[in-house]
Amino acid sequence: MAKVIVVTSGKGGVGKTTITANLGCTLAKLGEKVCLIDADIGLKNLDVVLGLENRVVYTLLDVVNGKVSAQEALVRHKQMRNLYLLAASQVATKEMVSPEDMKTIVKSLYPVFDYILVDSPAGIERGFRNAVAAAELALIVTTPELPAISDADRVVGLLENFGFNDKSMKVILNRFKIKMVKAGEMLTQQDVESTLALEIVGVVPDSEEVIIATNKGLPVVLNGDMSVSKVFENIARRLKGETLPLDEDISQMTEKGFVAFFKNLFGRKRG
Amino acid sequence: MWFFGLFKRRRREKSRETAYKRLETILERRRPVAVTEIIPKNEFEENSEKIKERIVDWVSDTFKVQKDRVKVEFEEHNGYIVIITNVLFE
């Protein structure tokens, strides 16, 4: 039976889709059979981040309308053979799918997968309710900025109304800039953890590699920065039940060694 | 002494500290109000007209408006009574 996880945030543009894609790829790399569902109907992007936009034949709406079964609508990833995508429709609206439809689709995929990740749209309306309907765990993505944390807090309240609790809600802190934190110009992971009163399951660094990877249509964990890949691996392992300290994520962001010493000395930046 | 003061660097508050204070204020406003006393439903219903009159009197006195320009309504939301007061100012 699959573990169903919704990736949500409240605020748009915090990196939900990127995190869903990378986390899905990492879990698949770890040998799990993973299905990604794009619940952002009308503004779908997950297929683009995964580089599968030309392979999508059937969408979530076709499944809801009974045209094909959920399994028939799945697209297999080019590189990760145990990673599948159920794409959203570009032309449909979120109102065309109901939370009950979502539950039925997820139920039909339950026995086939180890993990089902649902990429939620921004906002707290119908699309959000569809995305969370079948989930047992919610990953709330936020950046260390006030509007994102404030919206994340609002989402936490709504998720509590849907029956989630502090065990079934976890936070991913995205676009973390260690240099700014060290300079006292960015909220720390402890600040976010204490204000949201939820466990942080991963701290993802702000990385230009993510933009490059999206341009190539390959998630960063498959083609890019090793430190980002390591962070996603840590998150995946934590989701699988392993206990790994958050410091392991933070330490990936701190350059060490001989090269880093000279980089700092001459103030040269990578990239 | 004022001369030395010119060279003294003032400690600038880091934006992280400002952000944390602002965040706490934003989230505090959303936290649920602590309920100290629960009034039984029947007791509230029996006295609702009296409560309305008291509110109308208070609003009328405070804002110096006639009593017929103050409208009070009760609505139930999630088990709580929300008092909606409309004041028609001149």
pLDDT band at A9 (very low <50, low <70, confident <90, very high): very high
Tell me if B77 is assigned to some domain.
yes
The two three-digit tokens of residue A45, written as one number? 């992007």
CATH of domain A3-266: 3.40.50.300
Instruction: Let me know if residue B64 belongs to a domain.
Output: yes
pLDDT of residue A214: 84
Angstrom distance (rounded) from CA A38 to CA A60 = 8
pLDDT in tens, B45-67: 899 999 999 999 999 999 999 99
Report the distance separating Cα A70 and Cα A72, nearest Å.
Answer: 6
Q: What is the pLDDT of residues A225-244, one digit of tens each?
A: 688 999 999 999 999 999 99
Q: Domain ranges in chain A? A: 3-266
3 state SS of A197: coil
What's the pLDDT score for residue A253? 76
List of residues 6+ apart from B67 with CB closer than 8 A: B56, B57, B60
pTM reported for the whole predicted model: 0.78
CB < 8 Å to A149, chain B: 23
Q: Which domain holds residue B79?
A: 11-87
Specify the higher pLDDT residue, A204 or A215: A204
Tell me if B2 is assigned to some domain.
no
Helix (H) or strand (E) holding B85: strand B80-87
Q: Is A241 left (phi over 0), alpha (psi -120 to 50) or beta?
A: left
In whole angstroms, what separates CA A269 from the centre of its chain? 28
What does the DSSP 8-state code read for residue A184?
Answer: T
Q: Is B17 on the interface with A (CB under 8 A)?
A: yes
The confidence band for B31, taking pLDDT boundaries of 50, 70 and 90, is: low
In chain B, whose CA is at the least distance from the CA of A187?
A: B16
| Residue B60 within any structural domain of the chain | yes
Q: Which residue shows structure tokens 């006393």?
A: B37
Summary mean pLDDT of chain B? 84
Q: Is residue B34 part of a domain?
A: yes
Structure tokens at A132: 């969370």
Contacts of A187 in chain B (CB under 8 A): 16, 19-20, 23
Do B16 and A195 count as a contact with CB atoms less than 8 A apart?
Answer: no
pLDDT in tens, A73-104: 999 998 999 999 999 988 878 788 999 999 99
Residue B6 within any structural domain of the chain: no
Q: Structural domain tally of chain B?
A: 1
The reported pLDDT for the residue numbered A235 is: 97
**A115-119 and A34-38: which strand pairing?**
parallel
pLDDT band at A271 (very low <50, low <70, confident <90, very high): very low
Residue-level pLDDT at A94: 78
Whole-number pLDDT of residue B37: 80
| pLDDT at B30 exceeding the cut of 80 | no
For residue B30, give how far its alpha carbon lies from the nearest alpha carbon of chain A (Å): 8
Q: CA end-to-end span of chain A, whole Å?
A: 43
ipTM, interface predicted TM-score of the complex: 0.77
